[in-house]
């Protein structure tokens, strides 16, 4: 590919990511889309506007085609644009996803279930933030974390990535990738070598991401719990009884901390 040009388009989605890579090939230009999402609109417009522009950019002779769509991870700022119904008319050759998205992998399902429970517990806490005395900045940051996290608002986008797009013949293959020393090549991207850097399947790395390693667990919420609402989960400290809670609050400065989780028993506050 010496002397040829690789084109990279970075779309102004705002707070998020969306990259279209174009590679020269022996017969035509080949394309790879990496992520398409945002949690805060950029100056170019909404994600729907961006998706429309992407489809225009990858349409040749009336056919919208992307050789490979790659999703780095499932946060909203990386996938929300895939909720757009227009993707159903886009031909896609392959979809690359992290191994944590593999529905046939028990370890992946357990990890996602735990993270979904954690997100649901945070939503329960946020729903009574005024009663718990949250400052506006605390509430805003917590809402921001919930809005971006995992499966709470990304179902349509994930459905597109797992089952959507238009096939040009045989069913679209989905590859579930992990960090590997093995070089990845695809007939859809001739002449290109890909090195996958993450996520790791090393058990030590996975364990470091588990909630219990950080003093947290998600448990079924008792009906007499102080947190009201319809949620099924409560975030509890490992050494606390189920009627107590675990909140991401610095009890001394009463400010949200992104580096540590501070315990605070809220059972008296709710009475």
Burial class (CB in 10 A: 0-12, 13-18, 19+), 18: buried
And the tokens for 227? 């947190």
What CA–CA distance (Å, rounded) separates 144 from 6?
Answer: 36
What CA–CA distance (Å, rounded) separates 112 from 101?
Answer: 8
Q: Assess whether pLDDT exceeds 90 at residue 222.
A: no
What CA–CA distance (Å, rounded) separates 70 from 213?
Answer: 30
Give per-residue pLDDT as tens, 15-46. Answer: 999 999 999 988 899 999 999 999 888 888 99
Burial class (CB in 10 A: 0-12, 13-18, 19+), 66: buried
Name the residue among 61, 115, 55, 106 with its Cα closest to residue 85: 55
Residue 227 exposure: Cα atoms within 13 Å on the Cβ side: 27
And the tokens for 35? 């992520």
Q: Assess whether pLDDT exceeds 70 at residue 120.
A: yes
Give per-residue pLDDT as tens, 173-221. Answer: 999 999 987 889 999 999 999 999 989 988 888 877 766 665 655 554 4
Report how far apart, in Å, the C-alpha atoms of 200 and of each of 95, 97, 166 are. 19, 13, 30
Give per-residue pLDDT as tens, 154-165. Answer: 889 999 999 999
pLDDT given for residue 128 in this prediction: 76
Report how far apart, in Å, the C-alpha atoms of 91 and of each of 26, 36, 80, 204 are. 20, 16, 19, 39
Answer whether 244's CB lies under 8 Å from 237's CB. Answer: yes
What CA–CA distance (Å, rounded) separates 81 from 42?
Answer: 13
pLDDT given for residue 217 in this prediction: 57
pLDDT given for residue 111 in this prediction: 82
Q: At what angle do helices 106-127 and 136-148 cross, to 10 degrees?
A: 150
pLDDT confidence tier of residue 121, bands split at 50, 70 and 90:
confident
pLDDT given for residue 216 in this prediction: 58
Q: Assess whether pLDDT exceeds 60 at residue 102.
A: yes
Q: Count of residues for the chain?
A: 271
pLDDT given for residue 218 in this prediction: 54
Give per-residue pLDDT as tens, 41-90. Answer: 888 899 999 999 999 999 999 999 999 999 999 988 999 999 999 999 99
SS3 212: helix
List b or e across 30-55, with b for residues whose CB sees 16 or more CB atoms inside 10 angstroms.
bbbbbbbbbbebbeeeebebbbebbb
pLDDT given for residue 153 in this prediction: 62
């Amino acid at each position: 590919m010496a002397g040829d040009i690789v084109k990279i388009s970075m779309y102004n989605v705002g707070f998020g990511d969306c990259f279209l890579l174009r590679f020269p090939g022996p017969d035509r230009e080949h394309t790879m889309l990496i992520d398409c999402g945002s949690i805060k609109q950029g100056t170019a417009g909404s994600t729907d506007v961006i998706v429309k522009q992407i489809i225009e950019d990858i349409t040749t002779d009336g056919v919208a085609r992307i050789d490979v769509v790659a999703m780095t991870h499932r946060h909203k700022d990386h996938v929300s644009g895939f909720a757009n119904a227009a993707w159903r008319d886009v031909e896609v050759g392959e979809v690359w996803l992290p191994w944590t998205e593999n529905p046939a992998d028990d370890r992946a399902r357990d990890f996602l279930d735990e993270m979904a429970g954690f997100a649901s517990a945070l939503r329960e806490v946020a729903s009574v933030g005024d009663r718990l005395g949250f400052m506006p900045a605390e509430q805003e940051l917590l809402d921001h974390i919930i809005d971006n996290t995992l499966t709470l608002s990304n179902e349509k986008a994930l459905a597109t990535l797992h089952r959507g797009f238009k096939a040009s013949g045989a069913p679209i293959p989905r590859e579930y990738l992990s960090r590997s020393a093995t070089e990845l090549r695809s007939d859809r991207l001739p002449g290109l070598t890909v090195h996958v850097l993450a996520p790791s399947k090393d058990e030590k790395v996975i364990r470091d991401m588990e909630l219990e390693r950080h003093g947290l667990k998600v448990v079924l919420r008792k009906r007499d719990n102080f947190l009201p609402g319809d949620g099924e989960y409560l975030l509890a400290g490992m050494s606390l009884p189920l009627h107590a809670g675990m909140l991401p609050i610095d009890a001394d400065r009463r400010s949200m901390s992104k580096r540590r989780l501070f315990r605070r028993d809220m059972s008296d506050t709710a009475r």
